[in-house]
Every structure is written in structure tokens, then in C-alpha cells.
Amino acid sequence: MASNGKKSATLLNKEIDEVLRMRQRKAAAAPRVVQGSSTGIPSQAEYEWRELAGAHKRLEEIQHAPLTARKEAQASFLEAMRSTPELVGERIGWLLDGNYGMGSMMLARRVLASPRMNRAAALTQMIGAFEWQSPEVMSREAWKKLTPGEKAHLDSAVQEALADSSGED
């Protein structure tokens, strides 16, 4: 310290650093509140992001399931596409309505908003994952096992579901 009672620059710097460190520790220990919200309720964008992340996580879990479970799911989905394509179409309608969650509905709506994609195929694979837990790759393989007549019947059921969903908007 200087003789006139003033603090030296190094001492001031040390005190300032200590105060800043204490503020950082206090901020790190405090519970996090969603920015922009004084109530802690997430914004719509944060909610949608969380739901999309959950849907992607669910799809990833399905892809990393044990092989026997994936093969059983694939066989179950193949059987549903063969014997009850109307059920697959109905489930696609449910997917578009949000019955599998907001995140999966948003993924399906993104597919509908993409005009240069085979929407029926993408939604069929997606519902194979969300309803039958068949990974999308295995759902494609199962679809390839269908006869041309079965493929046409399934496609008409899916197109009907797409028409129903576009009529509701």
C-alpha cells in the first residue's frame, strides 16, 4: 500500500479478480432460468427444439437396438404393409396429427413441405420407426420385399392419408 492510504494497482487488480471469480461461482451455482423468460417456462422455439431433439433421439435408439429386436420389428412392419396397408396409412395420418409427439409430427411436416422428395416413402419409413420400431433402413428393405400389387395398395393407402392431412390444413 502506498503511504497515503491508497491501494496499489496490483492490490486493486487482485481484489477485482476475486470479485469477478466470486460472481462467476455464484452464477454457476445458481439454478438456470430460461433466457428471455422470467417464469422459467420455455419459449415456443425452445419447446420445439427440445421435441425435435427427443424425436431424433428416439430414432437413434431404434437404430441402435439389438439386432434381433430390429429384425423382429422389420418382420412385423413387413407383415403390416402386406396384410393391412390401410393401418399403415392410418398411422401416417396419426403421425401427421401429432399422436406420436410434437417432434415426430414436426419431422413429418418437414417431409410434407419438401416437394422434391418421395414423401410417401419417407413417411412410410418414418412410421415404421415410430410405430413398429423398425429402423428406416430396414423398413426400406422390407418395402422392397413387397410385390408390385402390395406396393400399389400400400401407396394408395399412404396417398389417401396424405390427402386427408392436406385437406385438414
**pLDDT band (50, 70, 90) for residue 1:** very low
Asked if 99 contacts 169 with a C-beta cutoff of 8 angstroms, the reply is: no
What is the band of 155 on the pLDDT scale with cuts at 50, 70, 90?
very high
Residue 25 has pLDDT above 70, yes or no: yes
Q: Does the structure show a pLDDT above 60 at 34?
A: no
pLDDT at 79: 97
With beta carbons less than 8 A apart as the criterion, state whether 33 and 40 touch.
Answer: yes
**Please, which pLDDT band fits residue 20 given cuts at 50, 70 and 90?**
confident
pTM for the predicted model, two decimal places:
0.73
Distances in whole angstroms, Cα of residue 53 to Cα of each of 57, 106, 133, 160: 6, 11, 18, 29
Sorting pLDDT into bands at 50, 70 and 90, what band is 112? very high
Integer distance in angstroms from the first to the last C-alpha of the chain? 75
pLDDT of amino acid 16: 77
90 phi and psi angles, rounded to 5 deg: -60, -45
Q: How far apart are CA 84 and CA 88, in angstroms?
A: 7
Q: Give residue 54's pLDDT band: very low, low, confident or very high (50, 70, 90).
A: very high
